[in-house]
A and B are shown apart, each in its own frame.
Chain A
Amino acid sequence: MKLFSNTFTNLERGLDYASINQKVISQNIANVDTPNYKAKEVEFKTVLDHSINQLEAKRTDSRHFTFQSSDTHPEVKTKTDYQYNHNGNGVDLDKEMSEMAENQIYFNALSDRINGKFNSLKSVIRGGK
Chain B
Amino acid sequence: MAIHSINSINPGLLSPSLSKKQITPSDATENFSQILSKTIDEVNRAQIQSDRMTEKLVRGENVDLHQVMIASQKASITLQTTMEVRNKVVEAYQEIMRMPM
Contacts and interface: CB of A to CB of B under 8 A. Distances in A.
A30 B76 CA distance: 39
A126 B88 CA distance: 12
A78 interface: no
Chain B residues touching A, majority SS: helix
A3 B70 CA distance: 14
Interface in A95-127: 111, 114, 118, 121-122, 125-127
Contacts of A111: 66
B66 A3 contact: no
B34 to A, nearest CB: 13
B80 A122 contact: yes
16 contacts: A3-B77, A3-B81, A4-B74, A8-B70, A8-B74, A12-B66, A12-B67, A12-B70, A15-B64, A16-B66, A16-B67, A53-B62, A118-B77, A121-B77, A125-B81, A126-B84
Interface in A59-79: 70-71
Given A12-B70, A127-B84, A19 B77 contact: no
A105 to B, nearest CB: 16
Contact of B84 (A12, A53, A125): A125
Contacts of A121: 77
Given A3-B78, A125-B81, A127-B84, A118 B66 contact: no
Contact residues on A (Cβ < 8 Å of other chain), bracket: 10 to 19
B70 A114 contact: yes
A23 to B, nearest CB: 10
Contact of B73 (A15, A53, A118): A118
Interface string B59-86: 0011010110010011001101100100
Interface in B30-81: 61-62, 64, 66-67, 70, 73-74, 77-78, 80-81
